Amino acid sequence: MTYRAESARRPAGSGRGAPNRTKKADHAGGPLRGLWGRLIMAALAGAAAELAGLGLIAAAAWLIARAAQQPPVAALGLAVVAVRACALGKGVFRYLERLAGHDAALRAQAAVRGGLLRALIPPRPPPSGNADLLTRMADDTDAAVDLLVRCLLPAVAALVTAVAAVGVAAGLLPAAAPVLAAGLLAAGAGPPAVSAVAARRWAARLAPARAALAERVADLVHGAMDLAACDATERAQKAAAAADAHLAALERRRARLRAAMPAMGMAVQGVTVAVIVAQARPVLDPVALAVLALTALAAFAPVLPLADAGERLAEIIAALRRLEEVRAAPPAVTEPADPRPLPAPPYTIEVTDLVVRYAPGGAAALDGVSLTLPPGRRVALVGPSGAGKSTLLAALMRLVEAESGAIHVNGVDVRDLPSDGVRELMTGLTDDPYVFRASLRDNLLLARPRTGDGELARALAAVRLADWAAATGWDAPLGEDGATLSGGQLRRLALARALLRDPPVLLLDEPTEALEDPLADALLGDLLKATAGRTVLLVTHRLRGLEEVDEIVVLERGRITQRGSHRDLLREPGYYRDLWRAETMRRAPRRAGTA
């Protein structure tokens, strides 16, 4: 079987136009379009709803107080109409506020999510030590909704209502206006500020406790087998229960403090209204007094919930900071400002004096590696664990940046090419392949969409998974990271994907890992046959079959220590010959046993 380079037939760089077009489309007709209009409409509607509420209370107060004086019914007509209009208006404006506010907020959330996903598309080193990272990222994008719906819009509505109420108070009794203004300011600024400071302090205590619990739970779920094997399940459960109890205790204490905030606001409300009533009683008639007192009371209604908004605002600021950290994390490789077009096939890859270091000042994972891959050449890379084999493949795929040295494709430095374009040319099986939580078919189609079942079946047969696929079924879900697959099956499935992808330069990182000798030998034999005439860089720990490849490169501690054909390397002392002897000896008793 041959896997002809379909990708080589694609016009070079064809994959790059699409993302650019998508970006433009996003900005022109994206979720942020019309955001401001909706936001202003929501703010106006929210303020109108609160004013209607205030008007309702004022009109109702006037109506009740005046009705107690038993005037002619006609004198009450206007107030009755005002009560009805305000009651209806409040509902209608509240509905419009929710409609426009949530529309705006969901648009903002979609824009935040889109920006975050776009920022994550260039590969980045994964943030470490955060079992709850994904959950947090999902929760954090909700901050955009809450910033508008729970903080900004309520604050605008409270401000408008407060100004209107102070205006009404000034009209009825000028001396009451500054008292009401001071009370509203104290209730609208004090509890929210205290809540925000407390929320920030508590977040610093709660976040590590939440992360600790998430990590313990993740250990219990993902490490269930290993915990059972080490008889450590009970210890892990106890540790998770302790983390849970610690978090629950912290949350209980925080809840008690939180409950004090509304009480503080209501105390300010009570004192303000009492002072105003005391001021007004000697000078105002009972009807005006009732209107003033109830208007003052009602003016606090949109102001008191701002304590919650202050607390939420502190959480939102922290969430937006975390999102910004993720967004601003530098990608693993730098994209060229002015990318050059991809060269035309056939491709010659030249690696020159490549040095890769994962941590500045740390040991070099690759230390001056030079290698040439002309079209159609198959090179095997062998070496002890940690020698830098996977790092070389990662550098070729533009997943890590070189500290010095260079990789050229037909004479063009890969740093001048878009990294996704480089990965169209050079890709394959990575050292830690991922199987998606999807069906078998979908996992394969990822490599080459719109491929018929016949071709998918041929790819599976090439990796000796045909029988397993027939038993499992094309639509069987494979679980998270291939939970339903053995290690060897998972790797072969990823290999089938790499073969379907069929890049011009095929990079294969240990395709036979986790397989028994007979199956590994057969699979490697098939692979070498199927890739005859193709450009291949094959990382392997097993040497049987390597007579077929054009060159074998031995990598030790990041440096090339031997290179040549299988025969050449068997003649010279060194890692290759030692490994060959060890492999031969390991197999010898088995052959004797079988014979």
Ligand X SMILES: Nc1ncnc2c1ncn2[C@@H]1O[C@H](COP(=O)(O)OP(=O)(O)OP(=O)(O)O)[C@@H](O)[C@H]1O
Residue number with CB closer to ligand X (381 or 527): 381
Instruction: Work out how close the CB of 319 gets to ligand X at its nearest, in angstroms, rounded to a whole number.
Output: 28
Q: Which residue shows structure tokens 């206006």?
A: 177
Helix, strand, coil distribution of the chain in percent, nearest 5? 65, 10, 25
Is there binding between residue 387 and ligand X (CB under 6 A)? Answer: yes
Residue 512 sits in the site that holds ligand X (CB under 6 A): no
Q: Which among 28-36, 65-73, 78-86, 383-391 is the span making contact with ligand X, rule CB under 6 A? A: 383-391
Nearer to ligand X, 364 or 447 (CB): 364
Residue whose C-alpha is closest to residue 557's, from 397, 374, 350, 365: 365
Quick one: which of 386, 473, 487, 533 contacts ligand X (CB under 6 A)?
386
Binding of ligand X by 511 (CB under 6 A): no
Q: Which is nearer to ligand X, 35 or 329 (CB)?
A: 329
**Which part of the chain contacts ligand X (CB under 6 A), choosing from 194-202, 286-294, 316-324, 381-389?**
381-389
Q: How wide is the angle at C-alpha 440 spanned by C-alphas 437 and 442, nearest 5°?
A: 75
Q: Does 383 bind ligand X (CB under 6 A)?
A: yes
Q: How far is the CB of 454 from ligand X (least distance, A)?
A: 34
Q: CB-wise, 108 or 364, nearer to ligand X?
A: 364
**Which one, of 511, 544, 497, 548, lies nearest residue 379 by Cα?**
548
Which of 312, 396, 388, 316 is CA-nearest to residue 357? 388
User: Site for ligand X (CB under 6 A): which residue of 358, 486, 518, 586?
Assistant: 358
Nearest residue to 192 via CA among 136, 248, 122, 265: 265
If binding is defined by CB under 6 A, does position 58 make contact with ligand X? no
Q: Applying CB under 6 A, does 434 fall inside the site for ligand X?
A: no
Stretch that binds ligand X, among 130-138, 268-276, 285-293, 388-396 (CB under 6 A): 388-396
Burial class (CB in 10 A: 0-12, 13-18, 19+), 500: buried
In the bound state with ligand X, the residue whose beta carbon lies nearer, of 383 and 488, is 383
Distances (CA, A) of 514 to 389, 490, 588: 17, 10, 20
What sign has the CA pseudo-torsion 414, 416, 417, 423?
Answer: positive
Is 500 one of the binding residues for ligand X (CB under 6 A)? no
Taken as a whole, the chain contains a residue count of 595
CB of 582 to ligand X, least distance (A): 15
Q: Which residue from 269, 390, 443, 489 is in contact with ligand X, where contact means CB under 6 A?
A: 390
Distance CA 525, CA 535 (A): 16
Q: Is 391 an interacting residue with respect to ligand X (CB under 6 A)? A: yes
DSSP string, 121-142: SS--PPPPS-TTHHHHHHHHHH
535-539 and 505-509 as β-strands: parallel, antiparallel, unpaired? parallel
For residue 351, CA distances in Å to 284, 372, 408, 462 come to 92, 6, 7, 30
Nearer to ligand X, 3 or 576 (CB): 576
List the one residue from 365, 371, 396, 524 that touches ligand X (CB under 6 A): 365
Q: Among 107, 312, 322, 389, which residue interacts with ligand X (rule: CB under 6 A)?
A: 389
Asked if 388 touches ligand X (CB under 6 A), the answer is yes
From residue 414 to residue 433, the character string flagging contacts with ligand X as x (rule: CB under 6 A) and all else as - is -----------------x--
Give the interface with ligand X as residue ranges (CB under 6 A): 358, 365, 383, 385-391, 431
